[in-house]
Structure 1
């Protein structure tokens, strides 16, 4: 599918479609959290790492590379001593992040319902079987 023109449809459900990889980068744990964090502004690497609690240096670097390659994140290296690298969303990245923020807010706001469903599910499965 390399070299697809803009008039061809992409289908994320098709195994070979390149949109599937981008969707994975955006919706994976670290991708979505990184895009969500960058929605708040421009960050240096270590600032992002602190903001996305629990991500390793290696995973954050890989995530940023993938998002930059997909055109969602802009990396700007400044020729200072020591060198300074800033990360920010591109216009496309901002559009994607805004949709993710809506999803994040929905999930956070509905967590009491999720926790109640989990408790019910676990209780039903822990109940003794009677014959």
Structure 2
């Protein structure tokens, strides 16, 4: 349990997962969806989540341009939807609506 909490409490992790719950995204699209996370940190978090098999990365051929990395949740990553919903519900019930999971971390 403590390892899971350690992963989920890393800044930006839940925001990355929430963004990918809407479907796969390229790096730049994901950066815009997460908002406020610098490229180096986003890269680090994505690599970490990939090493834990929570997200998958594939490379798209862009017809002669630089290859495009596309990220998606694995089945294990998609299972975090329930965790995120539970956190949101708890926050609304105990901290008020304004304390539910924010779109961008402070």
Q: The TM-score by the shorter chain falls in which range?
A: 0.7 to 0.9
Q: Let me know the Cα RMSD of the aligned residues.
A: 2.1
2:12 matched to 1:30? yes
CA distance in 1, matches of 2:6, 2:68: 29
CA distance in 1, matches of 2:67, 2:30: 17
Post-superposition Cα deviations, 1:21-59, rounded to whole Å, max 9, x if no partner, equal x53222322111101111111101111111111111111
- Mark the runs of 5 or more structure 1 residues left unpaired by the alignment: 1-10, 13-19, 115-131
Corresponding residue for residue 35 of structure 2: 53
CA distance in 1, matches of 2:75, 2:87: 19
Structure whose CA Rg is larger: 1
Task: Give the number of the structure with larger relative contact order, counting CA–CA contacts within 8 Å between residues 6 or more apart.
Answer: 2
| TM-score normalised by length of structure 2 | 0.76
How many correspondences in the alignment? 95
